[in-house]
């Protein structure tokens, strides 16, 4: 346990570069040893910023590398399956960013492959489970003081989407998937049905993209979940969650934390009756809102890996969330509820 | 215009008694002259609390009374139609509590009866339009600075329902109806479709009552509205509304106003690490939350009536809201979306 | 008690005109019958806006007028003494805006004159005692649940002062006087010592004006009060109060109530990482912040006057607050604590 | 720079043990190698919780130890001088918890000893400068958008003091010292005068202890600072700061962040009109409120030490804060303002 964990990172876009900074500069017990990215210039530039970090061209070589004890996958979703399977094959702990894979079938293949092995190695990057607010929310709900939870209301807004080819289905698969995991986490149950509806879209979205969307989940125990997902909200990154229980509610993510200012109104100085304003700023993106959650997630992953253990969201969590989103993408086209049929968990090997 | 308006009140339960206090003690230009209630003891007791207020046994006699210039109807919904029609017949201004009537057909009869007359006489008691927060919210949205409004999220929670026979349909007709009017008011459009869904109900509800409920509206212009209605929420009266527009949001009704306290935690004194709490109290009912809205509503009604004018929500607003709720009660049984078909407004007489 | 109270108003500047609207249009049981103002054009213009309201040239004639049952004094402070004494002489109920008079000697003369008469007739316009938040704060503190109150922190900010000749002493006499009354009201004790300090003044103040100021009070029972008064704060009207007790605190007036918005940041649209903002507006002046307090104050005064009673802050309250401010103006020049020596209350006639 | 920094910790009470967890488990680039404490059992117990950490009996031996590259001093204040001087002698980077030493003379000796050396080695543990909220507050004030800062209001409340012998002077030296540093940090100026006043104390304080206290600072540029320090506040740990500038204000530390709940009121269930409550919990101590600030502080210290640099609050900052508190302890006894006379900074060697 004394030697630091050698970490390799596959994919060094926004998310992967952020993880590189974290592993190299903010986490105890880890050493960043290698990075890989299909954009080799980007990988070289990143590697050069740290002492002794190698760029490896082929991600599968990175997985196989002797110095790499554990792998963070932050590459595009469509290569996740191959890369996670390689980690399993080499017996390396892996923290895979969401979505686990692109559809429920491939996610199930990952679950089965992991369960055929002796050790559980996969952690899926649903970082919100490490956010102190979500964690505390779960504690309060689980304490039972408020009775049974009846409803959950989620708000998920991004300022805008970087990728001009971001399509309606991606809102379900890449954004709503967080709300699916939150629902599964807070209730400790599976989602059994999903409906995805959409109003007339914002003019800030690409032509033809259904944004915002309103999703409804039915949970195994009969509770319901409503989620607004709006990825071109312009203002900033807002993630809010309110649980409604029989004898009270729990809310996190209101725009109240941090620094407040009052100011002379922008439209003019002290003349006339134009009032001033009070308030604060909305975070620009998830890196600010969930900075601490990501730090705690990666620290927990490093600590567990060094002990030879696995923590946090499992491959099954990744599979189940993907399965719900796969059903959600179907519902998006019809507006009808779609049932979620999961594999038989008890039949998994291992 | 100098003489005060003689006001008669039909129905002196919680709401009617509150209006009596208001007319007699907090509103300028009005004089409470008569009350009627099928519970004549209750009517006598109320009349006795004010100087020179008569109890009239038959509500229709109250309407016809020479001293009564204008009528507030706060009786049960199933007698509204007859009483409003009597007001129209006698040419008296009337402020009718919601719902206007029990179903869309009867509400339409009221609209048509009013439109056959020369003067518009009916104001429906959707008091939220007079709430300074809802009014300001509409101003901000109408200003266009935030772009088109895409979504509206409503929360409507009551501590509990006084009437043990309160049934699932009544949640739609008597509670959700406020959210219907809010949506019509803020968008300035009709609701074209409604879906009413429900999770496994709270154990605090009567056996067989679907509480809470989640309603979805589609608006004429393509926007969507989500509303939680929960009438046995135990905690208190919470009404919240968030509008999501293309370049920003507007929210009212967060539990932040008023007096805040910090306190030693109830569970024990200063020993140990048990932290103290901060926060405030949730209003017990609508009379506290909407105290100012009711005052402004009745003052506006009195002022307009003295000038020979009508203000605020019209009989059409009452009809349209009832029609949406009638469709909603149908949806409640099937879980399917139900279209709302309104009469042709342009074909109304007058 | 059935006849409405005939009300005359002396002084129809900002405050008096607001009271005229209130008496004529928002309060039950009153009738605005006459107004007086040394600016007779302003008085005529105001009178003309209401039915049957006379302009009387000499304020003392207004006091003596047969139709005037009760008087609101909203004239400049230096004529208050003469006008209140006239009301006492004619046996008329009077609501006198703060300050009661310009210094402690003249205020004491008013107290003594009232106490020589058989009836108590004077209410001083410390409207905050009628504000639901201050009233509730007093209830919580008086309940004893939080133990003894140790400290009070007040914030009092105005956007700017209308009068270019507003001097440092006026900040004490016209603004700080509210905080003095709040302290006396919440503690139920007299202020025994006052210190008024000032930092390097804001450039928004007139040359030579000490703004902001920080005042410290010692209360009879040993508690302390800190008050910031800042009358050229530019942003708007903020009044906040926090009581610190042995087992908790109570705070009112935080900028959290009402409508909240999120918006794209003013400096630019959705490009880049510039975040959006959330928050609300700060009220422009006291008429917005204390709208309800003023309505409740005047309604209580009208109701009591019609019953032949007196309510709210007394002439002694007006005197004591003025005496503290007189000492405060002395401290402002030296920065030293100044003792407040009040007359012997038990020696008052009546 | 590749080798991790070997860290030794002197003093493993509440604060030192927290730092041990941080260095061993949450910070990159460091290795906890040794601990020392006059309570050797406590030191042994702590050392045993980590792999390869030695207990060294004499703190000065720890400083001299070859494996120890840098030292954290979390021992009682009265041994700080000797221990910091030892670090200087051995050329080791040192993070010394506040207060730097017990009085201004000894602090000045430390400053002079450091300045006689070639390198600057001392960081004082004013962690608030690393708190993202204080840091952002300084940015906003320094931007100049709000004009000159005129006033600062600080609130500093502890639930209770662990040590029954905690005396009035310690409130100044150990608690108020943070507010002194905050004022110096935010204004970028020295404090020139301090007054410490106190109301009748809380019954929760030890007999004879003046708690709470109200301190007033005058800054070099003419601004004023008010600080409430209340170390037996019972409720929890509250640290709040409001800066008042010419065109706006900045506030941090309001009790609004994090998780909110609504609940049925503790006094009873849903019957009657007793309303429910909304709100959250107050942190129990500084470790929760400033968790991130401490992490960032220690990470910055480790990173700088590895680069051969020094960051954060200097020995001069420690000296100046101690000098203000020394004057404050004098004022506490007289209630009079006391001037702060600092050494001539420009005359320091080096």
Contact B87, B72 (CB under 8 A): no
Interface contact flag, A259 D250, Cβ < 8 Å: yes
What's the CATH code, domain A129-290+321-347? Answer: 3.30.360.10
CA–chain centroid gap for B324, Å, is 15
Across the interface, which of A255, A275, A285 has its CB nearest the CB of C236?
Answer: A275
In chain A, residues with a C-beta closer than 8 Å to the C-beta of C262 are 235-236, 238, 255, 282
| pLDDT tens for each residue of A175-211 | 999 999 999 999 999 999 999 999 999 999 999 999 9
Domain C129-289+321-345 CATH (choose: 3.30.70.260, 3.40.190.10, 1.10.490.10, 3.30.360.10): 3.30.360.10
- Which tokens sit at A109? 């293949």
Which fold, D129-291+321-345? Dihydrodipicolinate Reductase; domain 2 (3.30.360)
CB half-sphere exposure, D287, CA atoms < 13 A: 12
Dump pLDDT digits (tens) for C99-121: 999 999 999 999 999 999 999 99
How much is the pLDDT for C265?
A: 75
Closest of C337, C211, C325 to residue D195, by C-alpha: C337
Mutate to test the interface with C, among D148, D246, D256 (most CBs of C within 10 A): D246
Nearest to B256 among C28, C256, C292 (CB): C256
If phi over 0 gives left and psi between -120 and 50 gives alpha, with beta otherwise, what is residue A208?
left
Residues of A in contact with D140 (CB under 8 A): 259, 261
Among the partner residues A145, A251, A258, nearest to D257 by beta-carbon distance: A258
C221: nearest CA in chain D? Answer: D200
Rounded to whole angstroms, how far apart are CA atoms D268 and D276?
9
**If you count residue pairs, one on B and one on D, with CB atoms under 8 Å apart, how many are there?**
94
**Pairing relationship of beta strands A122-124 and A93-96 according to DSSP bridges:** parallel
Q: How far apart are CA D53 and CA D66, in angstroms?
A: 14
- Contact residues, chain D, for B273 at CB < 8 Å: 284-285
What is the dotted CATH code of the domain comprising B5-127+292-314?
A: 3.40.50.720
Please determine, for residue D48, whether its predicted confidence score (pLDDT) is greater than 90. yes
- Inform me whether the pLDDT recorded for C145 exceeds 50: yes
Q: Give D-chain residues touching C234 at CB under 8 angstroms.
A: 246-248
Q: Answer whether C25 sits within 8 Å of B29, measured CB to CB.
A: yes
Helix (H) or strand (E) run with residue A47 in it: helix A40-48
- Say if CB D18 and CB D290 are below 8 A apart: no
Q: Judge: B247–C261 Cβ closer than 8 Å, yes or no.
A: no
Confidence of residue A126 (pLDDT cuts 50, 70, 90): very high
Q: What is the DSSP letter of B65?
A: -
For B222, the closest of A148, A200, A223 (CB atoms) is A200
Q: With left for phi above 0 and alpha for psi between -120 and 50, is residue C286 left, alpha or beta?
A: alpha
Q: Which fold has domain B129-290+321-339?
A: Dihydrodipicolinate Reductase; domain 2 (3.30.360)
CA torsion sign for C36, C37, C43, C49 is negative
Of D277, D280, D282, the CB nearest to B282: D277
**Which residue in D160, D264, D279 is closest to B234 by CB distance?**
D264
Whole-number pLDDT of residue C266: 61
- CA angle D336-D342-D345, nearest 5°? 165
What is the average pLDDT across D159-163? 86
- Chain A contacts to C (CB-CB under 8 A): 159-160, 204, 232, 234-236, 238, 255-256, 260, 262-266, 269-270, 273-285
**CB–CB contacts below 8 A, C to D:** 94
Quick check: bond before B281 cis, omega within 30?
A: no
CA distance D167 to A109: 66
Strand A213-219 and strand C224-230: the pairing is unpaired
**pLDDT for residue C268 is more than 70:** no
Q: Which of A328-337, D131-140, D256-265, D321-330 has the lowest mean pLDDT?
A: D256-265
Confidence of residue D273 (pLDDT cuts 50, 70, 90): low
Q: What is the mean pLDDT of residues D295-309?
A: 97
**CB atoms A252 and D259 under 8 Å:** yes
For residue C235, list chain A residues with Cβ-Cβ distance below 8 A.
262-264, 275-278
Task: Specify whether the CB–CB gap between D207 and D222 falls below 8 A.
Answer: no
For the segment B130-158, the average pLDDT, to the nearest whole number, is 97
Average pLDDT (C124-141) is 97
Residues in chain B, overall count:
350
> How would DSSP label each residue in B290-322?
THHHHHHHHHHHHHHHHHT---SS-HHHHHHHH
Which residues have a Cβ under 8 Å from the Cβ of B197 and sit 6 or more positions away?
Answer: A216, A224, B213, B214, B215, B216, B335
Fold of A5-127+292-313: Rossmann fold (3.40.50)
- Across A235-261, average pLDDT: 92
- Using a CB–CB cut-off of 8 Å, the residues of D that contact B are 159-160, 204, 232, 234-236, 238, 255-256, 260, 262-266, 269-270, 273-285
- Whether the pLDDT of residue C350 is over 70: the answer is yes
Write the residue in C236, C262, C282 that is nearest to A282 by C-beta. C262
C-alpha span between A213 and A231 (Å, rounded): 9
- Of all residues in chain A, the one with the smallest CA distance to D137 is A259
Q: Are B350 and B157 in contact (CB under 8 A)?
A: no
Whole-number mean pLDDT of chain D?
94
pLDDT at C304 over 80: yes
**D212 preceded by cis ω (within 30°)?**
yes
Choose, out of D140, D183, D199, D220, the residue to mutate when testing the contact with C (most C CBs < 10 Å). Answer: D199
Q: How many helices (H) and strands (E) in chain C?
A: 11, 15
Interatomic CA distance for residues C48 and C17, integer angstroms: 12
Measured between CA atoms, the residue of chain A closest to residue B242 is A155
CA distance B199 to chain D (A): 20
Evaluate if residue D21 carries a pLDDT over 50: yes
Closest residue in A to D250 (Cα–Cα): A261
Q: Which pLDDT band, with edges at 50, 70 and 90, does B290 fall under? A: very high
pLDDT band at C270 (very low <50, low <70, confident <90, very high): very low
Compute the distance between CA of residue A252 and CA of residue B244 in angstroms, rounded to an integer. 19
Neighboring chain B residues of D265 at a CB cutoff of 8 Å = 281
Q: What are the structural domain ranges in chain B?
A: 5-127+292-314, 129-290+321-339
Q: Which of C17, C108, C144 is nearest to C343 (CA)?
A: C108
Chains near C with 3+ CB pairs less than 8 A apart are A, B, D
In this prediction, residue A266 carries a pLDDT of: 62
CB of B210 within 8 A of CB of B106?
Answer: no
Q: Do C259 and B140 touch (CB under 8 A)?
A: yes
**What's the pLDDT band for C163 if we cut at 50, 70, 90?**
confident
Chains linked to D by 3 or more Cβ pairs within 8 Å? A, B, C
Nearest to B289 by CA among B166, B174, B178: B178
Query: Which residue has 């005037």 as its token pair?
Result: C68
Average pLDDT over residues B300-308: 97
Q: Which helix (H) or strand (E) holds D206?
A: none
pLDDT digits 0-9 by tens, D235-264: 999 999 999 999 999 999 988 877 889 888
DSSP E strands, C203-290: 213-219, 224-230, 238-245, 248-252, 260-263, 277-281
Q: Which residue of A has its CA nearest to C232?
A: A270
pLDDT score of A269 = 40
Residues on chain B bordering chain C, Cβ-to-Cβ distance under 8 angstroms: 1-2, 23-30, 51-52, 132-133, 136-137, 140, 145-146, 247-252, 254, 256-264, 276, 292, 299, 303
Backbone angles phi, psi at B40, to 5 degrees: -70, -30
Percent of chain C with pLDDT over 70: 97
Q: DSSP letter string over B95-122?
A: EEPSSSSSSHHHHHHHHHHHHHSSS--E
Report the first-to-last Cα separation within chain A, whole angstroms. 26
Is CATH 3.40.50.720 the classification given to domain D5-127+293-311? yes
Average pLDDT across chain C, whole number: 94
State the pLDDT at residue C273: 53
Kindly tell me the burial class for residue B100, based on how many C-beta atoms sit within 10 Å of its own C-beta (0-12, 13-18, 19 or more): buried
Asked if residue D170 has pLDDT above 80, the reply is: yes
Cα–Cα distance between B177 and B217 in angstroms, integer? 12
ipTM tops 0.85: yes
Q: Residues D23-32, buried b or exposed e (16+ Cβ, 10 A)?
A: bbebbbbbbb
- According to the model, what pLDDT value does residue C210 have? 97
Judged by CB atoms closer than 8 Å, whether chains meet at D246 and C212 is answered as: no
Chain C's closest residue to D242, CA to CA, is C155
Q: What is the pLDDT of residue D266?
A: 61
Evaluated on CA atoms A283, A287, A291, A297, the torsion sign reads positive
Note the pLDDT tens digit of each residue in D83-135: 999 999 999 999 999 999 999 999 999 999 999 999 999 999 999 999 999 99
Confidence bin at C274 (pLDDT 50/70/90): low
Q: List CB contacts (< 8 A) between A234 and chain B.
A: 246-248
Size of interface A-D (CB pairs under 8 A): 98
Q: Reduced to 3 DSSP states, what percent helix, strand and coil does chain D have, rounded to the nearest 5?
A: 40, 25, 40
């Amino acid at each position: 346990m004394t030697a630091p964990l050698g970490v390799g990172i596959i994919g060094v876009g926004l998310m992967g570069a952020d993880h590189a900074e974290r592993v190299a500069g903010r986490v105890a017990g880890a050493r960043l040893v290698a990075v890989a990215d299909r954009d080799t210039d980007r990988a070289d530039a990143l590697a050069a910023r740290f002492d002794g970090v190698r760029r490896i061209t082929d991600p599968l070589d990175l997985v196989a590398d002797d110095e790499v004890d554990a792998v963070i996958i932050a590459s595009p979703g469509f290569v996740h399956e191959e890369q996670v399977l390689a980690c399993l094959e080499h017996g390396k702990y892996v923290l895979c960013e969401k979505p686990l894979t692109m559809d429920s079938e491939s996610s199930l293949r990952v679950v089965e492959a992991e369960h055929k092995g002796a050790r559980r190695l996969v952690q899926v990057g649903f970082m919100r489970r490490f956010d102190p607010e979500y964690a505390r929310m779960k504690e309060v709900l689980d304490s039972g003081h408020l009775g049974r939870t009846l409803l959950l209301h989620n708000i998920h807004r991004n300022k805008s989407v970087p990728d001009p080819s971001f399509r309606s289905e991606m809102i379900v698969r890449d954004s709503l998937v967080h709300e699916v995991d939150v629902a599964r986490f807070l209730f400790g149950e599976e989602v059994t049905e999903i409906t995805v509806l959409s109003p007339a879209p914002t003019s800030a979205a690409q032509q033809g993209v259904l944004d915002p969307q309103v999703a409804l989940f039915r949970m195994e125990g009969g509770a319901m979940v409503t989620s607004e997902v709006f990825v071109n909200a312009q203002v900033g990154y807002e993630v809010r969650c309110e649980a409604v229980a029989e004898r009270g509610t729990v809310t996190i993510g209101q725009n109240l934390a941090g620094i407040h200012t009052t100011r002379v109104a922008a439209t003019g100085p002290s003349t006339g009756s134009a009032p001033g304003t009070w308030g604060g700023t909305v975070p620009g993106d998830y890196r600010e809102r969930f900075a601490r959650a990501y730090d705690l997630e990666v620290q927990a992953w490093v600590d567990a890996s060094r002990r030879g253990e696995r923590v946090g969201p499992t491959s099954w969590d990744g599979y189940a969330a993907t399965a719900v989103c796969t059903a959600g993408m179907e519902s998006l086209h019809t507006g009808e509820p779609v049932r979620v049929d999961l594999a038989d968990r008890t039949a998994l090997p291992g």
